[in-house]
Structure 1
Amino acid sequence: MTDPLPQLILLPGLLNDAELWRDQVTGLADVARCQVADLTHGESLRDLAEQVLAEAAPTFALAGFSMGGYVAQEIARIAPERIERLALIDTAIRADTPERAAQRRAVNAAASHEGAFLGVADRLMASYVDASRLADKDLTGRIQAMTQRLGREVFLRQNGLAREDGAAALRALRCPIVIICGEHDAITPLAGQHEMAHAIGCSHMVIIPNAGHMTPMEAPEAVNAALRRWLAR
């Protein structure tokens, strides 16, 4: 007998692993077969997308967080017919500007020869989580440990990936799409989320109050509720 639950592939962001999606994997187990993709090996978005597709069911639901959203867009280019529904979480669709690409190269140059790799250092945490959560040592400790666990080589590889414009590929999809974003996301701010929704014709947007960029970890109940509604559409 076939499993009646849809496969939900969860795509992590830069320096994220399955810890990012811990509360989604457990909290959505009754409505989906959750599988967290490993995006730590691959020299291009195409490499990563093809790795995900090779291990995926014939059709699946797809949720991409931050950098994982760009991998989702590449999957939409390669195999749109296999995507049953798509969630874009705290991500973007535009290609890097020349300035942003140069900034990435400079960061990689610095990160490649500095001392111990610190992952998301304390000074960076303020751009990752809402100000109200900076004193939450359980949350910030989980994020810090995750980024340190993946380390320098994964950071250099992922930060060096060329981000391509995904508007056309997403606009061509004929499946339920939802955009989910933290109200105070400093990395992919709300203005960009509204612009993305307009560009791809998505009318379903969920703004998570009092949350920053790391919504799956900061506000798991709200994210899970939004994903449940999307899975039921």
Structure 2
Amino acid sequence: MAEELPVVFVPGLGCTARLFAHQIASLGERRCRVADHARHDAIGAIAESVLAEAPERFALVGLSMGGYVAFEILRRAPDRVARLALLDTTAEPDTEEGRARRRTLIAAARKNKLGSIHQATFARYVDLTREGDAALEALVREMLFETGAPAFARQMTAILTRPEQASVLPGLRCPTLVLVGENDLPTPPEHARRMAAAIPDARLVVLPGVGHLSAIEAPEAVSAELVAFLG
């Protein structure tokens, strides 16, 4: 039997390894690593640090910001990525409104206003039906505070200054899963559909009743898709 590919997970903005706890548990004995994406303020530097610590060949799973890092990894070392799962992310640039929102959040982080950041973002990150889910909100808030204000500002700066990424998609040759929540506001399904159409032989999955943080909003469904995709 061929050895199972190790899996490298890259979390989203303000998220920690807890974002992927259910998925990692579902993969059983398979070797999994959660990348540190909080040390640098540029996507290129984050991608290089992930590659430096990753196995020689691996499956790559990125959610939101993790997808932006994944695109840069594939730009730099496409032969090292054997399978790719893009969860609730986009290859499209920010709108001017989106860029302004990011600058506002960076300014808040530099003033250590993590509570205000959480209040401003939680409802955008989850499906409308989950806004009153106290356990889910506590997890999202805890991950943000575990990340910390300086790291959050670095992450947001990296996202704000990320390079153009759509041109990477047509050249991808590894099996690719594109998964998105039906009600994802920051990276909506139409972005996922365009990504999947641009990537040769990509598989698109849209989860009903799910927002941006699919890995914790619908952990069982996301885990089932990843287990089936990774084989």
TM-score over 0.5 for the pair: yes
Give the match for residue 69 of structure 1: 67
Provide Cα deviations, 1:109-128, integer angstroms capped at 9, x if missing partner: 34323x64217524532111
**Is the CA contact (8 Å cut-off) linking 2:42 and 2:162 kept in structure 1?**
no
SS at match of 1:142: helix
Bigger mean CA offset, 189-198 vs 100-109: 100-109
Provide Cα deviations, 1:17-75, integer angstroms capped at 9, x if missing partner: 10101111111124x31111110101211111111111111100001100010100000
Cα distance in structure 2, aligned partners of 1:124 and 1:173:
32
SS at match of 2:115: coil
Provide Cα deviations, 1:136-178, integer angstroms capped at 9, x if missing partner: 2111111111111212111111111112222222321211001
Give the match for residue 142 of structure 1: 139
Q: Which runs of 5+ in 2 are unaligned?
A: none
AA aligned opposite 2:225: A
**Is the CA contact (8 Å cut-off) linking 2:108 and 2:114 kept in structure 1?**
no
Q: Is 2:50 the counterpart of 1:52? A: yes
**What do you get for the CA RMSD once the two structures are aligned?**
2.0
Report the Cα offset of residue 135 of structure 1. Answer: 2.2
Judging changes above 3 Å, is the alpha-carbon distance between structure 1 residues 84 and 154 closer, same or farther for their aligned structure 2 residues? same
Provide Cα deviations, 1:183-224, integer angstroms capped at 9, x if missing partner: 111111111111222233454111111111111011111101
Give the match for residue 125 of structure 2: 128
Cα distance in structure 2, aligned partners of 1:222 and 1:16:
20
SS at match of 2:224: helix
**Which structure 2 residues correspond to residues 168-207 of structure 1 after superposition, within 5 A?**
168-207=167-206
Q: State TM-score, norm by structure 2.
A: 0.91
Cα distance in structure 2, aligned partners of 1:209 and 1:154:
32
Q: State TM-score, norm by structure 1.
A: 0.91
Q: Which runs of 5+ in 1 are unaligned?
A: none
**Is the CA contact (8 Å cut-off) linking 2:173 and 2:200 kept in structure 1?**
no
How many residues get paired? 229
Q: Is 2:215 the counterpart of 1:216? A: yes
Judging changes above 3 Å, is the alpha-carbon distance between structure 1 residues 140 and 97 closer, same or farther for their aligned structure 2 residues? closer
Judging changes above 3 Å, is the alpha-carbon distance between structure 1 residues 22 and 120 closer, same or farther for their aligned structure 2 residues? farther
Judging changes above 3 Å, is the alpha-carbon distance between structure 1 residues 119 and 72 closer, same or farther for their aligned structure 2 residues? farther
Give the match for residue 34 of structure 1: 32
How many percent identity over aligned positions?
Answer: 40
Bigger mean CA offset, 129-138 vs 49-58: 129-138
AA aligned opposite 1:216: A
Cα distance in structure 2, aligned partners of 1:202 and 1:68:
21
SS at match of 1:61: strand
Cα distance in structure 2, aligned partners of 1:97 and 1:116:
24
Cα distance in structure 2, aligned partners of 1:116 and 1:209:
33
AA aligned opposite 1:92: T
Cα distance in structure 2, aligned partners of 1:17 and 1:154:
11
